[in-house]
Each structure stands twice: as C-alpha cells, then as structure tokens.
C-alpha cells in the first residue's frame, strides 16, 4: 500500500481527535452533546490547520478495558459518523485499549477510511493487563463484514506498554515491523515513544525504516517542530499533543499550533 492511496500528501500528517470521557466511562460528566460538539470543533480546527487526516480516539475513557463496552461503541459510531460528514479529509478510528474489531466495525458503518490498532502482532504488558496480538481475529472479521477497504495502521511495541519478550527493544522493532507487514498484513506500521507526547528513539525509527522494505512507517507520538528531522525516517506522522492548546493533551485543538506545524513540515520537506 502507498499512503497516497488515502492521502494527497506524500508525507501525511494525521491529527488526533481525543474524545472527552464517553458514556459508561468513569469520568463521564453526563453531556454527550458537549462531547460531540468538541469533537467537531477539533475536527474543523485540524482540517483548517492543514492536516491530511484525523483519528477519532476515546482517550478520555481511562482506565481502558481490553475491549470496549457496547455504549462506547455506540457513542463512537455516532461521533465518527458526524466527523466524517463534517470534514473532507480521511478519518480513522482507534478504540482503546485494543478493540480493533470495534474500530473496523465503526469504520465500516460510518465511512471512515482506516483504523489504528495498538497491539497487532506482539504481546505486551500494559495498565490493562497482558494484551495479546489481535491480527488473526481482526483480519478475519474485516473480511467477514466486507470492510477490506478499511486500512489497518498497526503499532509495534506500543506506547504505555512493555514487551513480553527477552529480546532487546531494538531487535524487537526490526522483528515486529517485518511480522506486522508480512504475516499480519498491516497497511502501515506505527512507531511511537514510550508515552503519549514523547517521540520515538531515532535509532529505532531507522531500524523500522530498514525493516519495512519500503512499506509505510508512521511516527505515532511526540513529533513537534523542534524534532521534525525525525520525519526523514518515516512516511508520515500522527500528531496529537503538540496540536493542543499549550501543548497539553487534555486541551482542545489550537488551530494556530496546527498551522505553525504544517508550515514547518512544508518548508522542511518541500511539500
């Protein structure tokens, strides 16, 4: 797959729509319309700022179960559908902590173009317990519901987790990038830092780039104007924290920060 199959830019920047706590989650405050309105404001700000796509994610639903409850799936389907109708750039879905089946189902019925999957072909220890690889079930479910057009962007050695392996992380990155593409059938692989807002290690990015054999690698966290040179080792990036007001992940999207970032991208990579 080429990212140009989805995005117009040769190095797409994908902004995050981090949802406020949804119904059924511990921090939900009782007003679903407010959550929807904020999601749409963030979507419009990201598109106005010049990003190439967005991902809708239930970041506010901590602590995250391994699979989402029915009310979470219903709420996200409503929001994603409205975002798809509101903006003209590709929309993705990520249902935390690792509910790829819910993500692809939501994408299928809402017209979203791709999903992010945190634990795809590796096994990790996380705050949600041990998370097993979801690729076999996800690919079969995608086929079952006839959603082959929904692309899969898969993390390896995902942030906020530790690998359940004796291998060094650098070796794991190279191994799992190959496995994600060759045996997991991912459309793109994501390399992140250890936590939200922290960038990946440059050496790990280089290993991922070499292991991908020309297939798409995305930076999944921590990219900002000060470290934009990391993007030379990737085909695009997912940006959340930097785009928020004051650079705080819990805040709304700041369109001026988005515009500033996109200006740096265009000047740095002659886009």
Q: How many CB atoms lie within 10 A of CB 269?
A: 13
The strands making up 161-163's β-sheet, listed across from edge to edge, are 129-131, 124-126, 161-163
Does residue 211 come out as left (phi exceeding 0), alpha (psi in the -120 to 50 range) or beta?
alpha
Give the H/E segment covering residue 44.
Answer: helix 32-49
Q: How far apart are CA 250 and CA 264, in angstroms?
A: 24
Task: Report if pTM > 0.85.
Answer: yes
Over pLDDT 90: what percentage of the chain?
Answer: 92
Alpha helices of 87-229 — where are they, by DSSP H?
A: 100-110, 135-144, 169-182, 202-211
Q: Model confidence over 192-229: pLDDT tens digits?
A: 999 999 999 999 999 999 999 999 999 999 999 999 99
Structure tokens given for 211:
């292991």
Would you state the torsion angle of the CA atoms of residues 252, 241, 27, 78, taken in this order, to the nearest 10 degrees?
A: 60
Rounded distance between C-alpha atoms, residue 207 and residue 218, angstroms:
13
Residue ranges of domains in the chain, CATH in brackets: 8-269 (3.20.20.70)
Residue 74 corresponds to which tokens in the numbers above? 């219903």
pLDDT band at 47 (very low <50, low <70, confident <90, very high): very high
Give residue 271's pLDDT: 56
Residue 2 pLDDT exceeds 90: no
Q: Summarize pLDDT for 66-98 with one digit per residue, the tens.
A: 999 999 999 999 999 999 999 999 999 999 999
Summarize pLDDT for 121-155 with one digit per residue, the tens.
Answer: 999 999 999 999 999 999 999 999 999 999 999 99
């Amino acid at each position: 797959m080429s990212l140009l199959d989805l995005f117009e830019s040769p190095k797409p920047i994908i902004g995050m729509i981090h949802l406020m706590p949804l119904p059924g989650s511990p921090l939900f405050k009782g007003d679903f319309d407010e959550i929807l309105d904020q999601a749409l404001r963030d979507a419009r700000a990201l598109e106005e700022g010049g990003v190439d796509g967005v991902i809708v994610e239930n970041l506010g639903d901590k602590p995250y179960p391994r699979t989402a409850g029915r009310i979470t799936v219903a709420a996200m389907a409503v929001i994603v559908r409205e975002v798809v109708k509101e903006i003209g750039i590709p929309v993705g879905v990520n249902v935390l902590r690792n509910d790829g089946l819910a993500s692809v189902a939501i994408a299928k019925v809402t017209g979203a173009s791709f999903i992010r999957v945190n634990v795809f072909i590796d096994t990790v220890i996380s705050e949600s317990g041990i998370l097993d690889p979801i690729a076999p079930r996800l690919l079969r479910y995608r086929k079952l519901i006839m959603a082959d057009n929904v692309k899969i962007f898969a993390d390896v050695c995902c942030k906020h987790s530790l690998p359940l392996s004796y291998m060094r992380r650098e070796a794991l990155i190279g191994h799992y990038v190959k496995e994600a593409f060759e045996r997991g059938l991912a459309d793109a692989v994501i390399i992140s830092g250890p936590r939200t807002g922290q960038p990946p290690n440059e050496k790990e990015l280089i290993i991922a780039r070499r292991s991908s054999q020309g297939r798409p690698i995305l930076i999944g966290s921590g990219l900002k104007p000060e470290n934009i040179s990391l993007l030379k080792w990737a085909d695009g990036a997912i940006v959340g924290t930097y785009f928020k007001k004051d650079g705080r992940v819990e805040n709304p999207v700041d369109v001026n920060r988005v515009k500033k970032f996109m200006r740096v991208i265009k000047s740095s990579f002659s886009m």
